[in-house]
Amino acid sequence: MSVTLPNPAQPLKIGTRGSPLALAQAHETRDRLMAAFDLPVDAFEIVVIKTTGDRITDRPLKDIGGKGLFTREIEAMLLSGGIDIAVHSMKDMPVLQPEGLVLDCYLPREDERDAFVAQGLSGIEALQPGQVVGTSSLRRRAQILHRRRDLRVVEFRGNVQTRLRKLSEGVADCTFLAMAGLNRLGMPQIASAAVAPETMLPAVAQGAIGVERREGDTHTEAMLAAIHDAPTAQRMAAERAYLATLDGSCETPIAGLALLEGDRLWLRGEILRPDGSECLAAEGRAAISDGAALGEDIARDLLSRAPQGFFDWRTG
């Protein structure tokens, strides 16, 4: 089909959160569309939408509602026609979408690893007993306490710049960020070290950007198809099926990572108690076309091995 292209008189409106990282992701999406269709920058409009998660920064996410806090207002604007597409960090996305919206465009995935950030420390092994780790991530909290029961963990919410400021003010001795975010912001040197997945398995979909559209918007669908990255989509199919089967959210310490190995896919998963006292791990390989089924199988394996009371924290 022919594609009706945006123009300066009728620009394509790209919805995003307003943090520097969210804006960098929206700009990457815009720039890829510009290159794919030879369009000028003023054929696009970046629309900043403040979400509940952005407004409330003094409480842990689990206390105010979890992952949807970073997407609800953006998706409402998309449904109402106030924007044409929405750009999301996939690790912020709930596994269920509102009726009428479709997420079938992914940009090439960035480095999925966590970044260890500290002044004068080379990595987790350099931390001394009693030192303080700052993180708002339940997953990172559980993983670091599972490895190092001798460390203290404090709440550390905010965008990349806010967390770096808190670190410089001595609120904590170290923190963890996403390598993908640092790379997209042009700040990879901030990381003291990239943490191997064997040490800290990353969040499901970390490093991936998804672009959401309205169902039935065939012109936008055709545009987004030109910048869609199939390998990232294959990895997302496995990771998000795994997450959905676990019924995971920001309130659950869940880690997962899918990697492509030729025509096969390797998926690793972990679930942890929030205090780090217990960690269950599983992995498997399958044909890429069976990635979603593999994700479900890995999740069911973990659920079957979880002891009595393992998930009490989910509803308590």
What is the set of active-site residues?
A: 92
- Give strand pairing partners of 106: 210
The amino acid at 62: K
How many Å is the Cα radius of gyration of the chain? 20
Identity (one letter) of the amino acid at 283?
A: E
CA atoms of 215 and 239, how far apart (whole Å): 23
Within 8 A by CB and 6+ apart from 91, the residues are: 178, 203, 204, 205, 206, 208
Task: Round to whole Å and give the CA distance between 117 and 115.
Answer: 6
CA nearest neighbour of 91 among 199, 240, 237:
240
Token pair belonging to 249: 């959210």
Q: Say which residues have a Cβ less than 8 Å from residue 155's Cβ, sequence separation at least 6.
A: 60, 134, 135, 136
The pair of three-digit structure tokens given for residue 86, joined into one six-digit string: 């929405």
DSSP structural state of residue 10: B
Measured CA distances, 95 to 45, 241, 250, 299 (Å): 27, 8, 11, 14
